[in-house]
A and B are shown apart, each in its own frame.
Chain A
Amino acid sequence: MPVFRILRLMFLLIAVMATPARADDAVLKVLLNGLADANSFAAIEKTVAEIAATGDPNAERALDALSSGDLYVRKADKAVFIGKRKGGGYLLSDPLTGEDAGEAKRAEVEKIKVNNTLRRVVRDAIGGLTLASSDPRARLSAAETIFKSGDPDAIPALDAAIARETDANVKERLTEARASAVLKSDAPVAEKTAALETIAARGDRDALSLIKSYEAGAQGELKDAAAAAIAKIEQTLALWAAGQNVWYGISLGSVLLLAAVGLAITFGVMGVINMAHGEMVMIGAYTTFVVQDLIRQYSPDLFDWSLPIALPLAFLVSAAVGLVIERGIIRFLYGRPLETLLATWGVSLVLQQAVRSIFGPTNREVGNPSWMSGAFQLGELTITWNRLWIVVFALVVFTLLLYALNRTSLGLQMRAVTQNRRMASSMGIRTPWVDAMTFALGSGIAGVAGVALSQIDNVSPNLGQGYIIDSFMVVVFGGVGNLWGTLVGAFTLGVLNKFLEPYAGAVLGKIAVLILIILFIQKRPRGLFALRGRAVEA
């Protein structure tokens, strides 16, 4: 009966080929359902370790859900599901296959709680499971996880992964991960020395951290090798740290520039000591909040566009408020700086309390659009997207303002009125109108700054107060009446501050900058770039 035997053999083969996955799934399912009985973080951790030990990549979905707190136990049958919020209940799906598993009311399921320690364990487990993933990004992150955890048991899996890896970048990371695992294993000294070199060549913070913790427990030759590697990495990192400081300085400078550039118009060009300047910034930030709130309600898809939409609106709203202040109060006070100071101070308090009454005293959430969230790595520099965009934005605003002042007829009239009011008036320029427009322009620019600052600071009625002193400092330091002075002043103060901060601390650093400015003003009362001319002397 050869035919019969062949048939039987075939059946057996098919069965053998088909069952491993099924059998594993069944094992996984049992393990997963064990989570339902785990009543402490330690018990859950143990179950996760067991799941990781199966090495079955199918467990990834369940583990992922566990770490993000989406895993639930159905109380009725103690089965584990992935749950997604839907109305008052949850939409359940199978934790292994992702298949739909009906719905459940809130009281019918219980969330499996996670904490940081558990999340780390799950992350490491997922790292081990996704080494063989088809997605290079998953393999990369798996390599990174193993690099940090340095699990010696992963060496065989890593060897296999390195052998079949085609992507050079991923391969490098895998080799580093293997080196990290070798360090923690009981490999011979020569192999460990080679591993140290591999990690040292990586040269970043993670590598430093790893070698440092290794050095603490190492002995003899290896300890020396580790110390040498640490010294080498620290040397390169010190250079990068200086670069990082410059970048932080530029970033702080751009914030100062944004806050001050509007004041450079109202105070610098017009000479109005405008204590309500910070509140114009705040109004711009609140405009952003209102725009985002409306977008969230009516068309959430547009969220990434919320800032471009808010920009012109913030400009208009702040400019309008500025116009009202100028026409209503400030125009009666030209030439009386003390009264202007007091009146605008009063206006700032009124505006703060008005915002507090309308929007409430608590912070308002202004979200970062996706293109402004997160950071990217430039060598060892961490550059956050929001800071980068704010630097770019500050420079664009500055350029536009420069263009407006030097190339438009309104700008020409503004400069004419500042330099010699009576002559300008005799030439037929309506000086009151120019005053109003200049003040509105300065206020509008402050509003635009508010849109940017809402991305890094909190949107509360006090937002403006934090910037008013800094703004005056920048304008006075840079030279009253000179836009370029404001630019140079802002970046100088930013970089100076950031270089002092690591040595003196944030509080003393700020004091030191203030003292330096006072000394500087003693020496050069008109700031960095002094305006010369008859009008200035008068």
Chain B
Amino acid sequence: MRGMTARFTKSLAAAAIASGLAWPSLAQAEGDTIKIGILHSLSGTMAISETTLKDAMLMLIDEQNKKGGVLGKKLEAVVVDPASDWPLFAEKARDLISKDKVAAVFGCWTSVSRKSVLPVFEELDNILFYPVQYEGEESQRNVFYTGAAPNQQAIPAVDYLMSEEGGSVKRWVLAGTDYVYPQTTNKILEAYLKSKGVADEDIMINYTPFGHSDWQTIVTDIKNFGSAGKKTAVVSTINGDANVPFYKELANQGIKAEDIPVIAFSVGEEELAGLDTGPLVGHLAAWNYFQSVDTDANAEFIETWRAFTKNDKRVTNDPMEAHYIGFNMWVKAVEKAGTTEPDQVIDAMIGVSVPNLSGGYSAMMPNHHITKPVLIGEIQEDGQFETVWQTPGLVPGDEWSDYLPESKDLIADWRAPMSCGNFNVATGKCGGKGIN
């Protein structure tokens, strides 16, 4: 009994360290350090994706400290757990900024969590780095969007499939989880496809609830939709857990990538880790980074990551790269501004350019989005992606989609004197205070 208790305590302690709870207390005394907030869910539905990002941030901060910190001070991570609860994100963000006095916050995954913290960052004037691909239609002074906007992921993916190399797809299934990111992305894609001459009856849109697990009917529908004699592809904005049963059903019903390819915007190396990818070879994903990217910077990043997590099988993914870019940009901007004061750092951020992991440089643009390459990869048997196509250069993020009537006239430019997140070029007026 005694032995068991001891072992239990030990594993509890290990768990606490692993989840990073013990981290802040290990750092140096207050005053000497610059605090960085990490606002990622460590429990609840989104923990599956966000925990990795928390670890990635801890690693980046650790590495920066080994290099001597920033402005001669060590960095200190403050980890909080908003528990996949959207209103809690706002509360935790408020705590981080007013109580812990952090210099910047790295966090959020879902769009709804980002929307929930926006007013807090605006009110308390702090910085949020948002690392996930999202639906666009937003530009906020206090937020830097290091993930892909739709034109850096969805549109090039569709372009690829329409090209001869991608299979000259003529018929489209837009399948997504029922919430804001897939809905908006699909709206943009639908408008884009129609502008390319795709007929109404050649587009099928389907939404499913979060965590949907019975895909039999939908996969059969896709199969039937694909038997109209035209090359068909599925564009999947299915999010999170629902992907595993979806791909299992695809594999079991024998839908091969050669016949009906599925291109996903939310499936990365991490999600594939829970799957037998043998039957899925050839299905696609569009990202701005793959673990398989063959550059020295990436090899070093993977090695550091595995050493940091003490797990030589840990995979890396696109949002991790986004944090890597965002964090390095912040460091550079702070050094440029000579202070961590958010107001001055925000102004210093624009134009900052840092190396990304795919062998180029990403720059922060006046609309608070960054430039990125777009990569299309095919799933391989070992659960990795192999790049089959890539944009020739970097694609600048376009926050207001040109394909939606309500946003085609809007632009964002946070440089003085315009300093506006939704400037209407048709009317020549700034449409308000940056929240759409």
Q: How far is it, in angstroms, between the C-alpha of A115 and the C-alpha of B284 when the chains are bound?
A: 10
In contact, A205 and B241 (Cβ under 8 angstroms): no
Stretch at the interface among A57-65, A268-276, A452-460: A452-460
In contact, A456 and B248 (Cβ under 8 angstroms): yes
| Min C-beta distance of A52 to chain B, whole Å | 16
A123, A205, A357, A385: the one contacting B252 at CB < 8 Å is A385
Asked, given contacts A384-B249, A458-B244, whether A356 binds B43 with beta carbons under 8 Å apart, the answer is yes
User: In this assembly, does A231 line the interface, its C-beta being within 8 Å of a C-beta of chain B?
Assistant: no
Contact with A along B204-233 (1 / 0, CB 8 A): 001111011110111011011011111000
Contact with A along B373-406 (1 / 0, CB 8 A): 0000010110000101100000000000000000
How many of B's residues come within 8 Å of A, CB to CB? 66
Enumerate chain A residues within 8 angstroms of B43, measured Cβ to Cβ. Answer: 352-353, 356
User: In this assembly, does B100 line the interface, its C-beta being within 8 Å of a C-beta of chain A?
Assistant: no
Asked, given contacts A120-B258, A462-B45, whether A373 binds B229 with beta carbons under 8 Å apart, the answer is no
User: In this assembly, does A367 line the interface, its C-beta being within 8 Å of a C-beta of chain B?
Assistant: yes
In contact, B274 and A382 (Cβ under 8 angstroms): no
Q: How far is it, in angstroms, between the C-alpha of A113 and the C-alpha of B390 when the chains are bound?
A: 14
Enumerate chain B residues within 8 angstroms of A382, measured Cβ to Cβ. Answer: 220, 223, 253-254
| Min C-beta distance of A13 to chain B, whole Å | 45
Q: Considering residues B15, B165, B206, B214, which has the most beta carbons from chain A within 10 angstroms of its beta carbon?
A: B214
In contact, A363 and B48 (Cβ under 8 angstroms): yes
Enumerate chain B residues within 8 angstroms of A244, measured Cβ to Cβ. Answer: 220
In contact, A363 and B276 (Cβ under 8 angstroms): no
Enumerate chain A residues within 8 angstroms of B351, measured Cβ to Cβ. Answer: none
| Min C-beta distance of B163 to chain A, whole Å | 10
Instruction: Name the residue on B nearest A372 (C-beta).
Output: B252
User: In this assembly, does B184 line the interface, its C-beta being within 8 Å of a C-beta of chain A?
Assistant: no
Enumerate chain B residues within 8 angstroms of A362, measured Cβ to Cβ. Answer: 48, 51-52, 270, 273-274
User: In this assembly, does A375 line the interface, its C-beta being within 8 Å of a C-beta of chain B?
Assistant: yes
In contact, A210 and B274 (Cβ under 8 angstroms): no
User: In this assembly, does A220 line the interface, its C-beta being within 8 Å of a C-beta of chain B?
Assistant: no
Enumerate chain A residues within 8 angstroms of B271, measured Cβ to Cβ. Answer: 363
In contact, B48 and A209 (Cβ under 8 angstroms): no
B15, B165, B388: the one contacting A113 at CB < 8 Å is B388
In contact, A117 and B166 (Cβ under 8 angstroms): yes
Instruction: Name the residue on B nearest A124 (C-beta).
Output: B258
Instruction: Name the residue on B nearest A123 (C-beta).
Output: B258
In contact, A466 and B216 (Cβ under 8 angstroms): no
Contact with B along A358-375 (1 / 0, CB 8 A): 101111110110000111
Enumerate chain A residues within 8 angstroms of B249, measured Cβ to Cβ. Answer: 384
Q: How far is it, in angstroms, between the C-alpha of A328 and the C-alpha of B208 when the chains are bound?
A: 39
Q: How far is it, in angstroms, between the C-alpha of A241 and the C-alpha of B220 when the chains are bound?
A: 9
Q: How far is it, in angstroms, between the C-alpha of A368 and the C-alpha of B270 when the chains are bound?
A: 20
Enumerate chain A residues within 8 angstroms of B11, measured Cβ to Cβ. Answer: 358
In contact, A368 and B276 (Cβ under 8 angstroms): yes
In contact, B48 and A466 (Cβ under 8 angstroms): no
Contact with B along A30-54 (1 / 0, CB 8 A): 0000000000011000000000000
A113, A214, A367, A510: the one contacting B229 at CB < 8 Å is A214
Enumerate chain B residues within 8 angstroms of A123, measured Cβ to Cβ. Answer: 258
In contact, B209 and A373 (Cβ under 8 angstroms): no
Q: How far is it, in angstroms, between the C-alpha of A460 and the C-alpha of B273 when the chains are bound?
A: 12
User: In this assembly, does A340 line the interface, its C-beta being within 8 Å of a C-beta of chain B?
Assistant: no
In contact, A365 and B273 (Cβ under 8 angstroms): yes
In contact, A213 and B254 (Cβ under 8 angstroms): no
Q: How far is it, in angstroms, between the C-alpha of A215 and the C-alpha of B178 when the chains are bound?
A: 36
Contact with B along A236-254 (1 / 0, CB 8 A): 0000010011001001100
In contact, A116 and B282 (Cβ under 8 angstroms): yes
User: In this assembly, does A87 line the interface, its C-beta being within 8 Å of a C-beta of chain B?
Assistant: no
In contact, A213 and B230 (Cβ under 8 angstroms): yes
In contact, B244 and A457 (Cβ under 8 angstroms): yes
User: In this assembly, does B80 line the interface, its C-beta being within 8 Å of a C-beta of chain A?
Assistant: no
Enumerate chain B residues within 8 angstroms of A20, measured Cβ to Cβ. Answer: none
In contact, B282 and A119 (Cβ under 8 angstroms): yes
Enumerate chain A residues within 8 angstroms of B229, measured Cβ to Cβ. Answer: 209-216
Contact with A along B123-145 (1 / 0, CB 8 A): 00000000000000000000000
Enumerate chain A residues within 8 angstroms of B284, measured Cβ to Cβ. Answer: 116
In contact, B386 and A361 (Cβ under 8 angstroms): no
In contact, B275 and A384 (Cβ under 8 angstroms): no
Enumerate chain B residues within 8 angstroms of A507, measured Cβ to Cβ. Answer: 178, 207-209
Enumerate chain B residues within 8 angstroms of A459, measured Cβ to Cβ. Answer: 274
User: In this assembly, does A475 line the interface, its C-beta being within 8 Å of a C-beta of chain B?
Assistant: no
Enumerate chain A residues within 8 angstroms of B295, measured Cβ to Cβ. Answer: none
User: In this assembly, does A506 line the interface, its C-beta being within 8 Å of a C-beta of chain B?
Assistant: yes
Enumerate chain A residues within 8 angstroms of B9, measured Cβ to Cβ. Answer: none
Q: How far is it, in angstroms, between the C-alpha of A361 and the C-alpha of B54 when the chains are bound?
A: 12
Instruction: Name the residue on B nearest A85 (C-beta).
Output: B382
In contact, B257 and A456 (Cβ under 8 angstroms): no
Enumerate chain B residues within 8 angstroms of A357, measured Cβ to Cβ. Answer: 15, 18-19
In contact, A365 and B165 (Cβ under 8 angstroms): no
B residues 33-61 near A (Cβ < 8 Å) are 42-45, 47-48, 51-52
Stretch at the interface among A191-199, A317-325, A497-505, A519-527: A497-505
Q: How far is it, in angstroms, between the C-alpha of A375 and the C-alpha of B219 when the chains are bound?
A: 13
B residues 228-285 near A (Cβ < 8 Å) are 228-230, 241, 244-245, 248-249, 251-254, 257-259, 261, 270-271, 273-276, 279, 281-282, 284
| Min C-beta distance of B430 to chain A, whole Å | 37
| Min C-beta distance of B123 to chain A, whole Å | 31
Q: How far is it, in angstroms, between the C-alpha of A362 and the C-alpha of B166 when the chains are bound?
A: 32
A69, A363, A502: the one contacting B273 at CB < 8 Å is A363
Q: How far is it, in angstroms, between the C-alpha of A360 and the C-alpha of B47 when the chains are bound?
A: 9
User: In this assembly, does B167 line the interface, its C-beta being within 8 Å of a C-beta of chain A?
Assistant: yes
* CB-defined A-B contacts under 8 Å, sample of 17: A113-B386, A119-B258, A123-B258, A209-B229, A213-B230, A252-B214, A353-B43, A358-B15, A361-B48, A362-B51, A363-B271, A374-B252, A375-B252, A385-B252, A460-B241, A462-B44, A462-B45
Binding site for A on B (CB under 8 A): 11, 15, 18-19, 42-45, 47-48, 51-52, 164-167, 178, 206-209, 211-214, 216-218, 220-221, 223-224, 226-230, 241, 244-245, 248-249, 251-254, 257-259, 261, 270-271, 273-276, 279, 281-282, 284, 378, 380-381, 386, 388-389
Binding site for B on A (CB under 8 A): 41-42, 68-69, 113, 115-117, 119-120, 123, 205-206, 208-216, 241, 244-245, 248, 251-252, 255, 352-353, 356-358, 360-365, 367-368, 373-375, 382, 384-387, 456-462, 465-466, 498, 501-502, 505-507, 510
Given contact pairs A119-B258, A120-B167, A358-B11, a sample of 11 additional A-B residue pairs in the complex whose CB atoms are under 8 Å apart:
A41-B165, A68-B281, A116-B166, A208-B227, A252-B214, A363-B241, A363-B273, A456-B213, A462-B45, A465-B211, A505-B207
List the 3 closest A-B pairs by CB distance, nearest first: A213-B229, A363-B274, A458-B244
